[in-house]
Chain A
Amino acid sequence: MTETPGTPAELDVVPADVPTLPVVDVRQGLFGGSGSGDTSGFGGLVRVIEMPAPSARPYGGWFDEVADELDLALQDDGLSLDAATDAVVVSNGEITFYVKAEHLLAFVRRLRDEPALRFEICLGVSGVHYPNQKGHELHAVWHFQSVTWNRRIRVEVTAPDEHPHVPSIVSVYPADDWHERETFDMFGIVFDDHPGLTRILMPDDWYGHPQRKDYPLGGIPVEYKGASIPPPDTRRSYT
């Protein structure tokens, strides 16, 4: 190849009005492969991978009802939906509230207690690690189910790698106990005020948090009839 494409930052392909939060990755070439050379002729191709952008009102369906009720309920705490959340995303027929960490407890308490919301069951938390979202690398993702209204919402709270702290909601939803321990175990997100935040799946003396993207999958090359097959995380991928 005679021309070397610039680094993503130099190319400045991200339009100014796109929020920085949803960008997951910037990829080059057709296959995303590196090392072996891209012979497809598309080596200079640059793709910005973005998560769905924040939505504006109306969200559609019962999403607006929930948002209105939340807004109303949060005003009793001296807040509003806009003040308590960074963004609201509607995508794939699901609604996600990106809640500010400091307002999470007030937010989920309203989810549980308001008769018009009644999200009785917390379906637990899990984590997602986005190493490229600077300052928001770690996401804690909750799902809440309302049996009364037959509705389900997603709540996300982000935290930076340098300070991976998120409030625990076990005091409101006891069901979240083990889920928060698992998320701590797998991502290293520390849930403040959790009654006993210890590892749950990995051994107590394990070092590192396996589901983070910087934690290797591991594995050894497998030899079969003279050929050597590399472990899955070092094989060529087509992302």
Chain B
Amino acid sequence: MGDITYEAAYGDVLGDGDPIDDAGVYDTTEGRVYTVTGGDWDSVLAPEEGHHERVVVNMGPQHPSTHGVLRLILEMEGEVITEARAAIGYLHTGIEKNLEYRTWVQAVPYVTRMDYLAPLANEAGYCLAVEKALGIVDKVPPRAQLMRVITLELNRMGSHLVALATGGFEMGALTAMTNGFRDREITLDLLEMITGLRMNHAYIRPGGVAQDMPENGIREIRAAMDKLDRQLDGVPKLLVDNGIWKDRTVGIGYLDLAGCMALGVTGPVLRSAGLPYDIRKSEPYFGYDQFDFEIPTETTADVYGRFLVRLRELDESKKIIRQALDLLEKTPGPVMIEDKKIGWPSQLAIGGDGMGNSLDHIRHIMGESMEALIHHFKLVTEGFHVPAGQAYSFIEAPRGALGVHIVSDGANRPYRVHFRDPSFNNLQAVAAMCEGGQVADVIGAVASIDPVMGGVDR
């Protein structure tokens, strides 16, 4: 274990010059602890004479407006935040460690559970990294790339709609919440139609995607996009020029471009500071360069700016989906790589009793070709081997830059996978956004970062 000890790691917590006894310290070491469960603040403090105005409040990890199990430690003078710290780790599940004991393909259903509002982005980042390490990025069929783009953009819309819905909800705009979740339901229905699941899809696989577009799929997505055209302007109509909303958001959670750069903040937060940085444009993957879309930016660098950026990104995603559907109609072909040593041997099929095994494939391996059966068995149990080395993929997830670093030791399972989740990085900006502001504005600032704790803690 090396020479790391508690003292080396944590130092002298008590400040008494002796770090040895500090290991058991969990409570505050100074001041008085109040446990408040309601009632008037004055009645809590009234019996105390000469109490301090400086209060340390634990917001979360079970607070409805902290966007999941995020714990904020706020030090306040009255209503003004003097120090804000975010504590995370409450949803840590050790996914990265688990991946080291699964094959490269089995890792996909794990990574999809990280950032659970953008499962397809996790899968896309992971699969792109594996494809880079295998050297097959160019060999993924174009139809699979289009399916990836369509599902990724549907997912981005769903994720942004949740950001708008919960952000509105946390600041009291309940209609934004009901509208947002209503419209997100449309994207979830479409993803369910394509992948079979509303979330945790495990749809994007190394070498392609799991399923082709279902029959009538293109028509249904077009109809849904038309429906969204009519419905999506509900929230903008309600909030964009709404005085109360602007009072809660304009100038709140300010983080300028220099701050974003220093803290590595990407995604809508960075674009609200005026930099049109979007990896879909700067380093196109999955053929994003063939689509005509814009990168919305604002220059206000506040919660309101991020709200506007997300709203406009919804429209850009719709544009991309429509173009991708047009291309998909003209692009027949397989959705899994031709290389039989990598591509999953079969796809699911719809039978009389619903989605299940492809009977044609089972007939082939069980009745016609023993070699096919051996091949199927080898690929499904052992999987493919990735040459020793490292690869890094970099994609634009709804919340910002998602980087996936994979290390292979030539085996059939990863040696190390690390996700640079955008929420994890962006949450560091909470202190910069909140300190010096009002406690009520913490809610808006955190909502505008839109952290998803599943991705933060992994």
Contacts and interface: CB of A to CB of B under 8 A. Distances in A.
A41 B139 CA distance: 35
A57 interface: no
Interface stretch (A12-20, A78-86, A92-100): A92-100
B147 to A, nearest CB: 25
A93 B415 CA distance: 20
Contact of A232 (B10, B101, B405): B101
B170 to A, nearest CB: 23
A201 interface: yes
B392 A143 contact: yes
Contacts of B262: 173-175
Contact of A51 (B383, B388, B403, B457): B388
Interface in A129-151: 129, 141, 143, 145, 147, 150
Contact of A147 (B1, B277, B403): B277
A152 B3 CA distance: 34
Interface stretch (A1-9, A67-75, A102-110, A115-123): A115-123
B390 A94 contact: yes
Contact of B3 (A162, A178, A203): A162
A2 B33 CA distance: 72
Interface in B250-268: 261-266
Interface string B422-451: 001101100000000000000000000000
A52 B389 contact: yes
Interface string A20-56: 0000110000001000000000000001011110000
Given A152-B394, A163-B3, A217-B101, A145 B420 contact: no
B15 interface: no
Contact of B92 (A143, A162, A201, A238): A201
A228 interface: no
Interface in B87-104: 88-89, 92, 94, 96-98, 100-102
B425 A239 contact: no
B216 interface: no
B87 to A, nearest CB: 8
Contacts of A197: 9
A92 B390 contact: yes
Contacts of B3: 162-164
Contacts of B401: 121, 123, 145
Contact of A200 (B88, B101, B263, B389): B88
Contacts of B198: none
B368 interface: no
Nearest to B259: A174
7 contacts: A47-B410, A92-B389, A92-B390, A92-B391, A124-B403, A162-B3, A174-B263
Interface of B: 1-4, 8-10, 23, 26, 88-89, 92, 94, 96-98, 100-102, 132-133, 135, 261-266, 275, 277, 282-283, 381-383, 388-392, 394, 401, 403, 405, 407, 409-413, 415-416, 418, 420, 424-425, 427-428, 457-458
